Amino acid sequence: MRNSSEKCPICKKNIVSDYTPFCSKRCADIDLSRWFSGDYRLSSEPRDEDEIEELENSLKERLDPNHNVG
């Protein structure tokens, strides 16, 4: 059970159990839009050029199985 003094991270109002950890659907949607727009990011280790190329080719193959790598 959450502490009733916990606040919504968006507007700082008291949270509502239906929208935990937010106070409303509006604040939950604001948070989600921030993830989609890239405002929030998870950091990772820098990748070298060969690994980036391998990942790009893998993605291209998944999106277009007829894609010729090279």
| Dist. CA 3–CA 17, nearest whole Å | 11
| Dist. CA 47–CA 44, nearest whole Å | 9
| Dist. CA 20–CA 10, nearest whole Å | 12
Predicted model pTM: 0.55
pLDDT digit string, tens, across residues 18-27: 999 999 999 9
pLDDT digit string, tens, across residues 30-40: 999 999 998 88
Bridge partners (DSSP) listed for residue 7:
14
Angle at 60 between CA 57 and CA 63, to 5 degrees: 155
